[in-house]
Amino acid sequence: MLALIETLTVDQWRAQSLCGDWTVREVVAHHIGYDLHSTPELLSRMVIGRADPSPRSNRRRVAELSDMSTADLIDAYRSHLRPRGIAAGFGSRICLTDCMIHQQDIRRPLGLPRSVPVDRIRPALNFATYAPPLRGAIRGRGVRLVAEDIGWSFGRGPEVRGSAEAILLAMGGRTVVLDELRGPGRDHLARNLGALD
């Protein structure tokens, strides 16, 4: 993520991301936001409900960081290259999976593809199936998700096939990848993601 954001232009920072109505800058602020708290601050926020994974809490944290310059955000990444706090949970799988999805939230709209190494995307796929905020197993309920390029699968039912990246993003709720997926379970998955009525 650091290598990516160090190269972004002013216009790219302002561009729309795949992450709801957030710009690239807001995705970056969200991704690093909770790492900027000390442990006592984070615990205090959890007690009062300001550090949960809800969209409202995430929007609040992004708004709190709105005065940070892009240079400050880049410096924050440089200072927090090792996951800590919430991001270090589950053997740092939270950070790995969150970073992988949010990189694509940035890269795809900007036309900056990246091939994710198998040894990184496989644990992210596995974690996405049970990570509470992602709800990958719920989004994939009733279908068998198959990442053809790495020989990974999960679930039961009609198959949905595609790249590991597309499967991961679907489990992360990104409907933009539906055009990259195929198989008899695709429409069922689209309904799970809210893309079909």
Write out the two tokens for 4. 């990516």
Q: What is the Cα–Cα distance from 148 to 181, expressed in whole angstroms?
A: 11
In sequence order, what DSSP letters do the residues of 82-114 get, joined into one string? S--GGGGHHHHHHHHHHHHHHHHHHHHHHT---
Residue-wise pLDDT tens digits, 6-61: 999 999 999 999 988 899 999 999 888 766 655 566 556 555 555 455 567 778 87
**What is the value of pTM for the model shown?**
0.87
Q: What is the Cα–Cα distance from 161 to 167, expressed in whole angstroms?
A: 8
Cβ atoms 70, 14 nearer than 8 A: no
Residue-wise pLDDT tens digits, 158-186: 999 999 999 999 999 999 999 999 999 99
Place of tokens 């949905």: 160
Domain segments of the chain as ranges: 2-110, 118-192
Query: What's the first-to-final CA gap in the chain, in angstroms?
Result: 35
CATH architecture of 118-192: 2-Layer Sandwich (3.30)
Q: Which residue in 113, 41, 27 sits closest to 70, CA to CA?
A: 27
Residue-wise pLDDT tens digits, 95-124: 889 889 999 999 999 999 998 999 999 999
pLDDT at 51: 47
Say if residue 133's pLDDT is above 80.
no
Q: Decide: helix, strand or coil at residue 162.
A: strand
Give every strand in the sheet of 144-147, ordered side by side. 152-155, 144-147, 159-162
